[in-house]
Structure 1
Amino acid sequence: MKRKTVVTAHFIATIIVGMTIVTFFSLSLVAEIKGDIQFIKNVKTFILYALPVMVIAMPILKLTGDKLAGNSSNPIILAKKKRMKLMILNGAGLMSLAVFLYYRSHFHTIDHVFFVAQIAEFGFGLCNLTLIVLNARSGMLLSGKLKRK
C-alpha cells in the first residue's frame, strides 16, 4: 500500500475515533444533565449500536499508525505508540461500560450503580479523547504541519 494511502487512512481513522468519542461523551453528558429516563435509554441504545464504528476504526488507527512508524526510534513516535496502547486498553473498558450501561438502563434501574459506571465512562472517555488529541498533535509535529516551539 502506498504511504499516502496509509497516511490518509490513518487521518480518517483518527477523525472517526475522535468524533465518535466526542459524540458518545456529549450525548451521555446531555442525557445525565437532562435527567429524562427515556432520553438516557435512547442515548445508551445509540451508543451500543454505534460501537461497531469504534471496533472498526480503532484497529485501523493502530495498524496504520504501526505501518507509518515502522521501526523508528523517534521519541515522538515511541510516545504515540505508548499512548495508543493506553487508548486500546481504555477502549476495551469503554466498550464494556457501554454494554453495561445499556443493559442497566434497559433491564434494571438507573440508580447509584448506573451513575458510578457513568462517571467511570466519562473518565475513560476524557482520557481517550486526551490521548487522541495528543497523538494527533504529535502526528502534526511529525508531518511538519505543526511547528515545534
Structure 2
Amino acid sequence: MTRWIHIISAGLAWCLILIFWSSTLVSETLGSPADIQAVKTFILYGMAILIPSIITAGISGFRLSCGRLNPLVDRKLKRMPIIALNGLLILLPSAVFLAQKADVGEFDELFYGVQMLELTAGLVNFYLMTLNARDGRRLSQTDTNQNNVTATEKRL
C-alpha cells in the first residue's frame, strides 16, 4: 500500500509542477493580464494540493527506503531535502507574492524577476522529481528481478 501511495502522491506532485510551470509560460507569453492573474491565483490555490502531495511522497518514500542499502535509494533521499527546501523557501513565497502582485495588476520588474526565480525553481524541482521517478522505476525493476530469482530458487 505504501508503494502505491508513494507513486500516486509523487506523480500528482510532478504533474502539478508541470501544469503550474507550463500554464505560467503560456499565460505570460500569450495571455492578457487577466489570464496571468487567473494563473497566479490558480497556482496559489494549487499549493494546497501540491504541498501535501510532496510531503506524502517524501514520507512514503522514506518508509519504502528503510533498511535498503542501495545507491539509487541514497540518491533519491539526497534529492528530497532539496525539493522540499526549494518549495518552502522559493516556490511557496513566490506563489504568494506573484498572486498578490497580479491581483492588483502590478506587472513590474520585481514581478517578472520573482517570476523568473519561480520558473527556475519549478524547473529544478521538476528535474529532481523526474530523476527520482527514474530511480524509483529502476528500484522497482530490481525488486521484481530479485523476487523472480527468489521464486525460482524456491522451486529448485
Normalising to structure 1: TM-score of the pair? 0.91
2:80 equivalent to 1:79: no
Give the aligned CA root-mean-square deviation in angstroms: 1.2
Q: Distance in 1 between matches of 2:139 and 2:51?
A: 26
Q: Aligned residue for 1:9? A: 5
Q: TM-score, normalised by structure 2?
A: 0.87
Distance, in Å, in 2 between the alignment partners of 1:79 and 1:143 is: 15
Unpaired stretches in structure 2, ≥5 consecutive residues? 143-156
Q: 1:1-149 maps to which residues of 2 (within 5 A)?
A: 5-92=1-88, 93-107=90-104, 109-144=106-141
Write out the 4+ residue segments of structure 1 that deviate beyond 3 Å after TM superposition. Answer: none
In structure 1, the gaps of 5 or more residues are none
Write the deviation string for residues 76-102 of structure 1: whole angstroms up to 9, x where unpaired. 111100111110011111111100100
CA deviation string 1:90-118 (max 9, x = no partner): 11111111001001111351111000000
| Cα distance in 1, alignment partners of residues 103 and 120 from structure 2 | 22
**Aligned in 2, Cα 1:112/1:35: closer, same or farther, shift over 3 Å?**
farther
- Give % identity: 34
Cα deviation, residue 47, structure 1: 0.8
- Contact preservation (8 Å) 2:91, 2:122: yes
Q: Deviation per CA, 1:8-52, whole angstroms, max 9, x where unpaired?
A: 000001110000000000110001101410100000111111110
Tell me how far 1:73 sits from its aligned partner: 3.0
Query: C-alpha distance in 1, partners of 2:64/2:19?
Result: 28
**Number of aligned residues:** 141
